[in-house]
Structure 1
Amino acid sequence: MSDPARLLADYDRQLRGPSEVADAKRTFRLGPLWIGVFAGDAGFIGYRDLGGLSARGARALVRAATAVLAADTTIARIEWKTRGHDDAPGLHDALVEAGYHPQEPESIMIGAARLLALDLPVPDGVVLRLATSQEDVRRASFAADRVFGEEPNEARAAEMLDRIADGDELWMAEAGGEVVSTGRLSPVAGTDFAGIWGGATRADWRRRGVYRALTAARARAAIRLGKRFITSDSTEFSRPILERSGFVRVSSTTPYEWHRRPESVTGG
């Protein structure tokens, strides 16, 4: 079995800090923080560690970092990404005080790409392929929106096109001309890792092997790109699937989200 402590050390060293904002349109440094503005004018704040910051120091850092991004009125939302193994006393309270809302915690899962790169059968009538055209990406993005109970969002589709231009791959499963499952592969430049994100399978196609086959296709693609490990922030639905494949849970992550209030844009 893989050593969780070693995998976590590799995760902290290779995937945090500069790697998290490598594809940002703009980046800033503020003390231990790496701050980025991504496509869709979304702000992001990450770090490798906070250097034993006190609760008072955390409050001041949160306020300062939020002010940097909030000063740009085109930024409607900010994500501050925390990890469960960090030594960050007072950070939760400081974030909530600054208007951030914690989202559902997820498990950080890591494993060798070869564990997922299996030759799995695909259900009859299902075709797996890369989304290569703008129309493919729109269809796949809109299908994922519907799986998550949301209206199709043009901005998210445009953001996905930007991610693909930066090296990500969007995989899709089609049946009868309809997209029934999607998932993104994100190789991280200069590291041993690729991430698998955004898995979404239509309810009537779950438990039929579609998503596992789509994940295997992404893992094979990661290996072709020279990546040894796969990482994923997993819900309690997907975590057991990866564990059965030999992945290990190395920590947890909780994103905190800040959303601009309408009156702060209009001045009303």
Structure 2
Amino acid sequence: MDDQRILALYDRQLRRAAPPDGPGHRVERDGPVVRQTGPTADSWNAVVWSALDAGTADAAIARQVAYYAGLGRTVEWKLYSHDTPADLGERLVAAGFEPGAPETLMAADVHRLPAGPPAPDGITLRAVTDEAGLDLAVAVHEQAFGTSGARWREAMRAGLAERPGVYHITLAMDGDRPVSAARLELYPGTDFAGLWGGGTVPGHRGRGIYRALIAHRARIAAARGHRYLQVDASPDSRPILRRLGFTPLATTTPYLRQA
């Protein structure tokens, strides 16, 4: 792929022209800043795009701080390695933001990904469509990541109910036991679909389940007319994604300012 062209397309379609994260979410433009504001305090509130320089950055940051402080909301500034100015991260820290763990923005052309692999022997893939499926997906999340899945469950329930056809959750089952779960979000009107989640419980890792879930979601995205898959890859998943044909485009770091 032409990495710079794909990164520019990603910036244009999913950042500068960011689609709302769900019903009730507002995409707002404040001069050179694009932000997303949710309907409740628990919603994702974030700055998703900025075009700043050394002379405009501090004032733009201060406006976003004041805006979300006035709403009593926690806000994330999603910073990418090619954003300007080069010291934007330092300026965010000075304004009270705390950096999280960096991830790698990766992308792949769905038509150039390997056709397989199939699910390993004994593993079946199942779409989540009801509360029972959500229970199983949450169980996977809690075992895979060691954290409560309560908030994640509400987000998944809302996604399935409010965005049918564009929000997909897939379970990998070993018999009656859920052993992995992953999410696909289609972005209508864009070339992209997003891969999210992908947690596998201990004891079932290293068997190719994660790769099978990627291939499964790639087929869904291609069938719906999306050309590229994008993912914010953790250090653990990045080597697997590279082997499957994903290309690193940038580094992304969440900077969080608490309410």
Same fold per superposition (TM over 0.5): yes
SS in 1 for 2:59: helix
- Distance of aligned partners of 1:129 and 1:25 in 2 relative to their CA distance in 1, 3 Å threshold: same
1:124-183 alpha-carbon deviations (Å, 9 max, x no partner): 332101111123123203421331111232x22111122232221111111232221111
Matched, 1:43 2:45: yes
SS in 2 for 1:240: helix
- Distance of aligned partners of 1:88 and 1:141 in 2 relative to their CA distance in 1, 3 Å threshold: farther
Aligned residue number for residue 33 of structure 1: 33
Amino acid at match of 2:134: V
In the alignment, the residues of structure 2 paired with residue 116 and residue 80 of structure 1 have an alpha-carbon distance, to the nearest angstrom, of 31
Aligned residue number for residue 8 of structure 2: 9
Amino acid at match of 2:33: L
- Distance of aligned partners of 1:21 and 1:156 in 2 relative to their CA distance in 1, 3 Å threshold: same
Deviates more, 1:111-120 or 1:27-36: 111-120
1:116–1:215 contact (8 Å) kept in structure 2 = no
Aligned residue number for residue 65 of structure 1: 64
1:21–1:34 contact (8 Å) kept in structure 2 = no
In the alignment, the residues of structure 2 paired with residue 171 and residue 66 of structure 1 have an alpha-carbon distance, to the nearest angstrom, of 37
Matches within 5 A, 1:1-268: 2-21=1-20, 23=22, 25-27=24-26, 28-38=28-38, 40-47=42-49, 49-50=50-51, 52-54=52-54, 57-73=56-72, 75=73, 77-116=74-113, 118-153=115-150, 155-164=151-160, 165-166=162-163, 167-260=166-259
The alignment of Structure 1 onto Structure 2 pairs a total of residues equal to 253
2:192–2:227 contact (8 Å) kept in structure 1 = yes
Amino acid at match of 2:236: F
1:15-66 alpha-carbon deviations (Å, 9 max, x no partner): 212325353623222112222223632311111x41x421x53222112112
Unaligned stretches of 5+ in structure 2? none
Aligned residue number for residue 263 of structure 1: none
Q: CA RMSD in A?
A: 1.9
Shift of 1:80: 0.8
Unaligned stretches of 5+ in structure 1? 261-268
1:21–1:35 contact (8 Å) kept in structure 2 = no
Under a length normalisation based on structure 1, what TM-score does the superposition of the two structures give?
0.87
1:189-246 alpha-carbon deviations (Å, 9 max, x no partner): 1111101111111121111111111111111111111111111111121112121122
In the alignment, the residues of structure 2 paired with residue 113 and residue 71 of structure 1 have an alpha-carbon distance, to the nearest angstrom, of 42
